[in-house]
C-alpha cells in the first residue's frame, strides 16, 4: 500500500517503529481516534501556532496554544500556551522579523520563552489519543511534524479535523466561482455563525476560537442530517 493511502493510525504505527524513547514515542504509542467514533464521543485538541512565516523548512514556531474539546464541550481547564524561546530556525535564521506585526511577539518576549522541545512535548502529551483540530490545519501539522522530525527524527502523524474545510463545505455553491478573498478565514467563518469577535493572532485565543467554530459547524451539520449519527469520518480532513 502506498504511504499516501495509509490511514493516520497506520502512519502512527509505522512511525512508532522508528521513534526513540521520549515524548513523541509516548504519543505514538496510543492509537488515534477511529474514524467510526461518533462526534458526541470524539476527543479533539484545538491547536494554533504562530510562526515567522508559512514554510516549515525555513520558518520557525514562535508560540503554541491548545484547548481540548470533548464531545460537545470545550475543556478550558486543559488549555495550554507556550512561547518558544528565540533561536535559529530550520534554515538558521534568527529573530522574529516582520512577522511581529501579525502576532505581536517580539524578540525580547521570545527570549523569556521555553525551548521548542519542551513546548512540543507538552503539546504531544495533550494531543495523545485525540484528533487535531485547526483552521487551515496544514500549517499546524506541517510545522509540528517538521519540529518532531528535527527533535526526534520522526514526523507526527495525526487524525485531523480542519474547520476551514468544514466551512468550505458548508458554503459551497454560495459563490459562482471561488470564494471571495478572506471569506473562509477563521474570523469570517465565526461571523457567519454569530460567534463573538476575539483578538486575532494570539495562539491560545485562536485555538479557543477554532474550538467554538467547530462546535457551531457540528451543530449545523447535525441539523442538516436529522436522525443520523455523525462520526469522525464525516469531518476528518
pLDDT at site 1: 38
Give me the domain span that covers residue 155.
3-235
Residues in Cβ contact with 229 at an 8 Å cutoff, skipping those fewer than 6 apart: 38, 40
Domain count, the chain: 1
pTM exceeds cut of 0.85: yes
Q: Positive or negative, the Cα torsion across 139, 203, 108, 156? A: negative
pLDDT at site 176: 53
Q: Are 35 and 181 in contact (CB under 8 A)?
A: no
pLDDT at site 183: 76
Retrieve residue 110's grid coordinates.
521570545
Q: Which helix (H) or strand (E) holds 73?
A: strand 73-74
Q: Are 57 and 44 in contact (CB under 8 A)?
A: no
Blockwise average pLDDT, block size 10, the chain, 237 residues: 71 97 98 97 97 92 97 97 75 53 66 94 98 98 97 98 94 65 86 92 95 97 93 96
Sort residue 117 into left (φ over 0), alpha (ψ -120 to 50) or beta.
Answer: alpha
pLDDT at site 129: 98
pLDDT at site 88: 46
pLDDT at site 178: 66
Looking at residue 91, which CATH number applies to its domain?
3.30.420.10
pLDDT at site 117: 97
pLDDT at site 92: 44
Q: How far is CA 83 from the centre of its chain?
A: 16
Amino acid at each position: 500500500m502506498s504511504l499516501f493511502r495509509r490511514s493516520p493510525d497506520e502512519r502512527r504505527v509505522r512511525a512508532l517503529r522508528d521513534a526513540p524513547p521520549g515524548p513523541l514515542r509516548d504519543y505514538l504509542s496510543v492509537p488515534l481516534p477511529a474514524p467510526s467514533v461518533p462526534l458526541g464521543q470524539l476527543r479533539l485538541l484545538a491547536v494554533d501556532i504562530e510562526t515567522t512565516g508559512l514554510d516549515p523548512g525555513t520558518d520557525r514556531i514562535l508560540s503554541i496554544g491548545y484547548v481540548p474539546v470533548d464531545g460537545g464541550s470545550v475543556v478550558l481547564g486543559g488549555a495550554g500556551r507556550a512561547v518558544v524561546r528565540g533561536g535559529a530556525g530550520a534554515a538558521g535564521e534568527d529573530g522574529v522579523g516582520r512577522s511581529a506585526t501579525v502576532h505581536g511577539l517580539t524578540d525580547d518576549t521570545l527570549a523569556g520563552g521555553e525551548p521548542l522541545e519542551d513546548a512540543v512535548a507538552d503539546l504531544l502529551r495533550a494531543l495523545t489519543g485525540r484528533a487535531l483540530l485547526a483552521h487551515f490545519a496544514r500549517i499546524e501539522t506541517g510545522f509540528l511534524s517538521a519540529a518532531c522530525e528535527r527533535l526526534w527524527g520522526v514526523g507526527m502523524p495525526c487524525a485531523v479535523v480542519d474547520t476551514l474545510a468544514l466551512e468550505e463545505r458548508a458554503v459551497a455553491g454560495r459563490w459562482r466561482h471561488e470564494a471571495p478573498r478572506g471569506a473562509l478565514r477563521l474570523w469570517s467563518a465565526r461571523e457567519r455563525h454569530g460567534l463573538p469577535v476575539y483578538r486575532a493572532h494570539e495562539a491560545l485565543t485562536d485555538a479557543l476560537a477554532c474550538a467554538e467554530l467547530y462546535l457551531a459547524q457540528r451543530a449545523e451539520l447535525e441539523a442538516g442530517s436529522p436522525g443520523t449519527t455523525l462520526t469522525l469520518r464525516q469531518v476528518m480532513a
